[in-house]
C-alpha cells in the first residue's frame, strides 16, 4: 500500500488546507493509496483542537460514502517558527518518525500589524474599491521587530522574516532526506501583496522595512521562482542536498522542487480586528467579488485550492504546465466557485531577475550555514 505524506503548518488557512487535502485526495486517488497529514501548531492545546476538527471532517466524509477513516491519518507536532532550536527539534522528530515526505506546505506566517489608517482606508475605498481591498495601503506595521535566539548563544533575527521565510527555509533543508525519498515538493504559500517596491535585498531580514510582511512574501517569491535557475545553482545545490557531506552520494537521487502558491484574498484574522470590524471586512470582500475581483476567495477552503493542487497533482501534470516556474493563485468567480489562476510576478525575467535570485540565494545560504553552526555549538 502506497502512503502519501504531507506536512501542513497550521492557521485558519492551514486547517482548510488539511481538510482540502483529505477531500481532494479521496476524490482523485485510487482506494489502495493512503494519506498521512502531519500538521504543526504552536501549542499542544491547539494541536488537540485542530485534530478534533479534522477527525470531525473525516467522519463527515465517511457519511458521504468515502472510506476516509481507513485511508487517512493525522500526526501532529509543535513548533515555533521564530525559534530556530524549535525548528531544528521538529526536523529531528520528523526524520526519526517518518520514512518519506511527499510535500511540505509552508503556510504559517505572521505580520507586524499594529493598526489601520482609517482615513487612508476610506479614501482608497472611495477611489477604487477592488484595488483597495486587494492591495491595501492602509495597514500600519511595526518596524524593526526582531526575535532573540538565547538558546543558540544569543543574537537575534528579524521576527517576520524568521516566521514567514527563514524558519520554513531552514526546516526544508533539514527535511531533505525525507523529501528525497518522497515526491519532494516544497510548496510555499505567498501572497498577492508580494510587492517589489517594499523589498530590499540588502535588508533581507526586513529590519528596516516599513512593510515587513509584504517584503517577506516578495522574498518568498524570489526564492521559489529562482530555485532552478542556472544563476542560483551554486547555492541551490548546497541547499537541496541533505547535507554538504553527502552531495556526491545523492547525485542519482530525486532532487526536491519548489513550487509557489497564494490563497487569494481570504477573510482571516491575520490583522487583529473587533468582531464587528471583521464582518465589515468580510462584507467589503464580498462587494469586491460581486464587482468583479478575480481574487476574493473569502473562504479559506477556496483559498486552499492552489497549494492543495500543487501537493496532489500528478508529476506529469506539473511538468506539462511548467508549474515550477509559475505562481499559482486561488481565485474565484462572482458566485464564489474556486478558480486556479496563474499570477504575474513583478520583474520575473531578464538579467536583473537572475541577479536578484543569485543575491538572495547566496545570502539565504550564508545565513543558514551560520545559524546551523550556532545550533550545533549550542548542543
Output the furthest CA–CA distance in the chain (Å, rounded).
Answer: 61
* Predicted confidence (pLDDT) per residue in 17-60, tens digit: 999 999 999 999 999 999 999 999 999 999 999 999 999 999 99
213 catalytically annotated: yes
Cell digits of residue 76: 501532529
**Is residue 169 within 8 Å of residue 235, measured between CB atoms?**
no
Q: Is residue 332 annotated as part of the catalytic site, yes or no?
A: no
137: number of Cβ within 10 Å:
12
**According to the model, what pLDDT value does residue 8 have?**
46
Q: Which of 250, 92, 246 is nearest to 181 (CA)?
A: 250
Query: Among 7-21, 58-72, 115-129, where is mean pLDDT lowest?
Result: 7-21
Residue 273 scores a pLDDT above 80? no
User: Is there a catalytic annotation at residue 379?
Assistant: no
pLDDT band at 108 (very low <50, low <70, confident <90, very high): confident
Tens-place pLDDT, residues 242-264 = 554 455 455 556 799 999 999 99
Residue from 19, 139, 217, 372 carrying the catalytic annotation: 217
> Residue 216 in contact with residue 106, Cβ under 8 Å?
no
Q: Look at strands 113-116 and 139-141 and give their pairing.
A: antiparallel
| pLDDT on residue 10 | 39
Place of cell 482548510: 16
User: H or E segment at 182?
Assistant: none
Given a cut of 50, whether residue 133 has pLDDT beyond it is yes
The mean predicted confidence, pLDDT, of the chain is 91
In sequence order, what are the beta bridge partners of 81?
none
- Pick the catalytic residue from 190, 261, 299, 332: 190
The pLDDT score that the predictor gives to residue 269 is 67
d(CA 180, CA 254): 6
Instruction: Over range 109-135, report the average pLDDT.
Output: 93
Domain limits of the chain? 3-377
Q: Between 3.50.50.100, 3.40.50.720, 1.20.120.790, 3.30.530.20, what CATH number should domain 3-377 receive?
A: 3.40.50.720
Portion of the chain with pLDDT greater than 90, in percent: 80
List the catalytic residue out of 213, 227, 257, 261: 213
Amino acid at each position: 500500500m502506497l502512503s502519501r505524506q504531507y506536512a501542513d503548518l497550521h492557521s485558519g488557512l492551514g486547517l482548510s488546507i488539511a481538510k482540502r487535502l483529505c477531500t481532494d485526495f479521496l476524490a482523485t486517488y485510487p482506494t489502495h493509496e493512503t494519506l498521512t497529514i502531519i500538521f504543526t501548531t504552536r501549542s499542544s492545546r491547539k494541536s488537540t483542537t485542530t485534530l478534533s476538527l479534522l477527525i470531525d471532517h473525516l467522519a463527515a466524509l465517511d457519511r458521504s460514502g468515502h472510506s476516509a477513516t481507513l485511508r487517512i491519518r493525522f500526526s501532529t507536532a509543535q513548533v515555533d517558527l521564530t525559534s530556530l532550536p524549535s525548528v531544528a527539534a521538529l526536523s529531528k522528530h520528523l526524520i526519526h518518525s517518518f520514512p518519506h515526505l511527499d510535500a511540505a506546505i509552508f503556510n504559517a506566517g505572521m505580520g507586524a500589524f499594529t493598526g489601520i489608517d482609517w482615513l487612508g482606508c476610506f479614501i482608497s475605498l472611495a477611489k477604487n474599491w477592488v484595488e483597495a481591498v486587494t492591495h491595501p495601503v492602509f495597514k500600519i506595521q511595526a518596524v524593526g521587530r526582531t526575535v532573540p535566539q538565547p538558546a543558540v548563544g544569543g543574537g537575534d533575527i528579524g521576527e517576520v522574516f524568521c516566521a514567514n521565510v527563514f524558519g520554513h527555509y531552514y526546516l526544508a533543508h533539514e527535511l531533505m532526506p525525507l523529501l528525497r525519498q518522497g515526491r519532494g515538493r516544497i510548496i510555499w504559500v505567498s501572497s498577492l501583496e508580494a510587492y517589489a517596491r517594499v523589498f530590499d535585498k540588502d535588508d533581507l531580514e526586513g529590519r528596516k522595512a516599513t512593510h515587513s510582511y509584504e517584503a517577506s512574501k516578495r522574498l518568498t517569491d524570489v526564492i521559489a521562482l529562482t530555485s532552478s535557475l542556472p544563476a542560483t545553482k551554486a547555492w541551490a545545490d548546497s541547499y537541496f542536498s541533505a547535507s554538504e557531506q553527502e552531495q556526491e552520494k545523492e547525485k542519482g537521487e530525486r532532487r526536491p522542487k519548489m513550487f509557489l502558491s497564494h490563497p487569494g484574498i481570504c477573510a482571516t484574522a491575520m490583522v487583529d480586528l473587533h468582531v464587528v470590524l471583521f464582518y465589515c471586512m468580510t462584507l467589503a470582500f464580498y462587494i469586491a467579488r460581486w464587482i468583479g475581483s478575480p481574487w476574493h476567495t473569502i473562504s479559506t477552503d477556496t483559498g486552499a485550492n492552489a497549494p492543495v493542487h500543487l501537493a496532489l497533482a500528478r508529476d506529469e501534470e506539473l511538468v506539462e504546465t511548467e508549474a515550477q516556474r509559475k505562481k499559482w493563485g486561488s481565485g474565484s468567480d462572482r458566485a464564489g466557485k474556486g478558480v486556479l489562476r496563474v499570477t504575474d510576478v513583478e520583474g520575473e525575467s531578464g538579467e536583473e531577475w537572475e541577479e536578484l535570485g543569485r543575491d538572495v540565494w547566496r545570502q539565504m545560504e550564508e545565513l543558514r550555514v551560520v545559524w546551523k553552526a550556532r545550533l550545533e555549538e549550542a548542543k
